[in-house]
Amino acid sequence: MQTMDSFNFAGKKAFVRVDFNVPLDGDFNITDDTRIRAAVPTLKKILSEGGSVIIGSHLGRPKGVDETFSLKHILSRVSELLGVDVDFANDCVGEEAAQKAAALQAGQALLLENLRFYAEEEGKPRGLAKDAPEAEVAAAKKAIKESQKEFTKKLASYADVYVNDAFGTAHRAHASTALIADSFDADHKTFGYLLQNEITAVEKVMNETEHPFTAIMGGSKVSTKIEIIKNLLDKVDNLILAGGMTYTFVKAKGGKIGNSIVEEDKLDLANSIVELAKEKGVNLVLATDAKIADSFSNDAKTDFCPVNEIPDGWEGLDIGPESEKTFAEVIKNSKTILWNGPVGVFEFENFEVGSRKVGEAIVDATQKGAFSLVGGGDSVACVNKFGLADEVSYVSTGGGALLEMIEGKVLPGIKAIRGY
């Protein structure tokens, strides 16, 4: 399989699928350009060798052409970071795009308009009524799959080589993330630096593990993490479960959780996870105390109490000092660390301490030689907020893609290039 370093891009046009799905404010200013900066090494490598790039991406979840989600809002920043004047095509498969792609010279770049302006990118019909007859739905699905083939063929026609550098969408079998790869032989498709680094980091954690291996899983619902938890129980030595899901486990054991978030229909599931961890010899670590509040607000009255003795009218919004010490001790003695999800409502300054302490413990372990992978939107936001991103081994740009890899799933965007 080709790599970015083995392929010579001189005189070649590369269609590069990136993930420029960046947040914009009300005036369409970029508030976090991390995803754009992450793709710069791949794009610069191609341009520096005398190649040209056709950049494809999505932005948001438009249901058709919508100026709010136009990639023209990010054009100037892309040009600034690449150090070249990036041209823009007002469509991704129209005549203008084809002409501009054909006219590209060595060292030039073209940014296509939002790929998701077309339903063909995702391959799902749009505009169907919720109560549409089955026959109508089936016909619409068949039609979109046929038009998707032409859409994909058009994108592929712009380039000599396909580069996928969008880990954030690698779990989607979309036209530009997976199907397009079939238009290129094995010598003319490859992963960009970002995607290859993501694959390497996740596989190092999951397949080349140094023990003790500790995973910290946060989040409000145990139901959304169940497949990940089950897969991790076959690999980890320690599993720290925190965040809002804590209170489902506490209530399942008969504890008092006040007004804390809970999945009432998942109490048996929580107990089964506890038993499964015991069977597999995994040290399952849950909070023993909590920082509680009398309302879901940064300005709420606060107190500390045992996690199973939260008074009525109060809710747990962060771990307490006892849990901070317990979590940190486990983390600092680990050789491999995976962090997905904060342990409290870190967006509120008064409830950020637990997540900060976890991040600092991960940094300590990393400095002692551990490999640490931080991934999933909120945990990434945590390390960025606390200024710790440069002090862990790897920060993943993928949300759903990372979680599916941890679950053990094969991602379409990866399989399309390397075959598995």
- Residues designated catalytic: 35, 221, 377, 400
**Strands 336-340 and 52-56, how do they pair?**
unpaired
Specify the length of the chain in residues: 420
Distances (CA, A) of 282 to 7, 238, 324: 44, 6, 20
CA atoms within 13 A on the CB side of 413: 32
Do residues 335 and 213 make contact, with C-beta atoms less than 8 angstroms apart?
Answer: yes
SS3 21: coil
Distance (Å, whole) CA 77 – CA 86 = 10
Q: Which of 255, 227, 231, 260 is nearest to 245 (CA)?
A: 260
What is the torsional sign of CA 86, 90, 95, 96?
Answer: negative
d(CA 250, CA 255): 5
- Amino acid at the residue 387: G
Computed on alpha carbons and rounded to an integer, the radius of gyration of the chain in Å comes to: 23
- Which residues, 6+ apart, have CB-to-CB distance to 400 below 8 Å? 168, 171
The neighbouring-strand residues paired with 24 are 30
In 3D space, the residue among 306, 341, 346 whose CA is nearest the CA of residue 322 turns out to be 306
Determine phi and psi for 238, rounding to 5 degrees. -130, 135
Instruction: Please give the helix or strand (H or E) that residue 374 lies within, else none.
Output: strand 371-374
* Residue 328, SS3 per DSSP: helix
Mode of pairing for the β-strands spanning 315-319 and 289-293: antiparallel
